[in-house]
Structure 1
Amino acid sequence: MQTAYVVVTVVAALMAGFSGTVLLLRAQWIVRALTDYSVPRSWWTWLGLAKVAGAVGLVAGLFLPVIGVLAGVGLVLYFLGAAVTVARARWYAHIPFPLVYAAPVIGALALGYAA
């Protein structure tokens, strides 16, 4: 069980870190999406930093569990908020994308609780 927890947590951290990094680097595909969803440009850096901080928190949670739980809950709320933002923009076909990023975080939280 411990091995699964570590693997899922690292995968979740890598996914969240990737998502935050491409936002901070202003990758064209993410800029286009955020513009389509009407996310204010002034929020982009903060959103990217939140994802990167969540990724770091997940990894830190392997050593200090309370940090991992807080980071995981924050990331789940972040990605649920992203799904709501996509739905409000009426891009219904894009709703699964933030949920795909939330899934391993939820898995890490569940495995951490079970361990």
Structure 2
Amino acid sequence: MFAAYVTVTIVAAVFTGSAAVTYLIGHDYPKAQLDMKRLPRSWGPVLGMLLAAGSLGLLAGFAVPLLGALAAAGLVLYFVGAFVAHLRVGSRQLVGPAVFFVVSVAALALNLSYHGPW
């Protein structure tokens, strides 16, 4: 159980951390995604910071399990919002948000099952 918890948490942190970097450096892909979803480009750095905070929170969860659970829950909510944003504009490109969502849910579930809910 411990190996699964550590592995999935690290994978989730790497996924969300790399997405955060693309938002924060101003890469073209996040800008295109914001345009496609009809969101202001000024939201890019904010979304990048949310992803970065989630990624760092997952890693901090190894020392403070409650922080890791809260970070994973925040990422789950973030990616629910990503699904809503895609569906709002009629986009059917849901594989990306689905992968991130599933990894975040797995990190949350494994954190809670390994450490307990409180």
Distance across 2 between alignment mates of 1:29 and 1:67 = 30
TM-score (structure 1 length as normaliser):
0.94
Retained in 1: the 8 A contact 2:69–2:112? no
Q: Which structure 1 segments of 5+ residues have no match?
A: none
Retained in 1: the 8 A contact 2:19–2:51? yes
The within-5 A match list for 1:13-92 is 13-92=13-92
Distance across 2 between alignment mates of 1:111 and 1:32 = 33
Distance across 2 between alignment mates of 1:99 and 1:114 = 22
For 1:6, the aligned partner's letter is V
Q: Which moved more, 1:36-45 or 1:67-76?
A: 36-45
Distance across 1 between alignment mates of 2:15 and 2:73 = 15
TM-score (structure 2 length as normaliser):
0.92
Query: What is the SS of the residue equivalent to 2:42?
Result: helix
Distance across 2 between alignment mates of 1:68 and 1:110 = 11
Q: Which structure 2 segments of 5+ residues have no match?
A: none
Please name the residue that 2:101 is paired with.
102
For 1:102, the aligned partner's letter is F
Cα root mean square deviation, aligned: 1.0
Retained in 2: the 8 A contact 1:61–1:69? yes
**Higher percent of residues as helix:** 1
Shift of 1:96: 2.4
For 1:97, the aligned partner's letter is G
Question: Kindly, what percent of the aligned residue pairs are identical?
Answer: 39
Between Structure 1 and Structure 2, how many residues are aligned?
114
